[in-house]
Structure 1
């Protein structure tokens, strides 16, 4: 079932967190924050919506680094019921798609709940003061990739945030699989 998160709650501060990557190294919000903004992405391995855009996510996060934007991906799914999202497979997924940012495991799901994450992918774009400025989609892709020349909505919004501290007022919510919450 496809889920769409609520619209951007402008100015809400990013929650602090410390989470491990699949190798057991821990990262906190301050470790990944960029000088001009921060992108927090809730993704997972198995979701077709994520798979449709995973290489675009990797490309955009990599290119945003040049604009002073730090990025992180977090998987919060219940791996007991979705073993394809387990940390050892997260590591392989990150390698396969050339992630240049940490891919962290939220085993307790507390971080997803703090952020109010709803689906995969769910994007949270913050300015340099870690105030929320973007809660929209990557681009027009859905369960399958959009056109190769699709407008790069997330990328454009994050560049604007890096330059002005403000996100666009008009945002189209992301859509994806619901986060697989533990019972």
Structure 2
């Protein structure tokens, strides 16, 4: 079932974290920022929404770099329940799509929870002060192939952020597969607290 992310909480401050990347190094989220801002994208390997747009995500990251916008992607899905989202499969995914940005593993899901991530893909666009200015979709295509002339929502928004430090007031929510949260072992399957 598709999940829909909430819209932008303008001015919310980014949270830093240090996470392992598929390149074998740990990365600070803040170190991924460019001089004019940062996009934090929650993605994964198996989601059909991500698979449909990953080439466009790569294009936007490359094109936004020329505007001083950094880019980082995070996979927070429960790899035990969804083995296609394992760290090893993340490496293969990054190689297959020649990801030009750090692809990080949020194994304990603490970063996804801190950001309030809801779905894959879920995009957070920050200005140079690392204040949230965009929480929306990549474009209107969802899982379909992009039509000619399709508006590049994330790209256009982040160009505005690079130039003015402010995102557009009108934004469209991202939609995708829900984040695959780990089951809290302190809860039983019927939602009642497990007995210790």
TM range (shorter): over 0.9
Q: Please, which moves more after superposition, 47-56 or 26-35?
A: 26-35
TM score, norm. by length of structure 2: 0.91
What CA distance in whole angstroms lies between the structure 1 residues aligned with 2:148 and 2:117?
Answer: 27
- Tell me by how many angstroms 1:146 deviates: 2.8
8 Å contact from structure 1 (residues 61, 71) kept in 2: yes
What CA distance in whole angstroms lies between the structure 2 residues aligned with 1:51 and 1:163?
Answer: 30
1:171 partnered with 2:171: yes
What CA distance in whole angstroms lies between the structure 2 residues aligned with 1:75 and 1:126?
Answer: 19
- Tell me by how many angstroms 1:99 deviates: 1.0
Number of paired residues? Answer: 183
User: Larger radius of gyration, structure 1 or 2?
Assistant: 2
Map residues 26-41 of structure 1 onto 2, 5 A cutoff: 26-41=26-41
SS at match of 1:133: strand
8 Å contact from structure 1 (residues 48, 144) kept in 2: no
Map residues 26-105 of structure 1 onto 2, 5 A cutoff: 26-105=26-105
- Tell me by how many angstroms 1:147 deviates: 1.1
Unpaired stretches in structure 1, ≥5 consecutive residues = none
What CA distance in whole angstroms lies between the structure 2 residues aligned with 1:162 and 1:75?
Answer: 26
The structure 1 segments of at least 4 consecutive aligned residues displaced by more than 4 Å after TM superposition are none
1:149 partnered with 2:149: yes
What CA distance in whole angstroms lies between the structure 2 residues aligned with 1:174 and 1:56?
Answer: 15
Q: Which residue of 2 aligns with 1:11?
A: 11
Q: Which residue of 1 aligns with 2:136?
A: 136
TM score, norm. by length of structure 1: 0.97
- Tell me by how many angstroms 1:23 deviates: 4.2
Q: Please, which moves more after superposition, 16-25 or 154-163?
A: 16-25
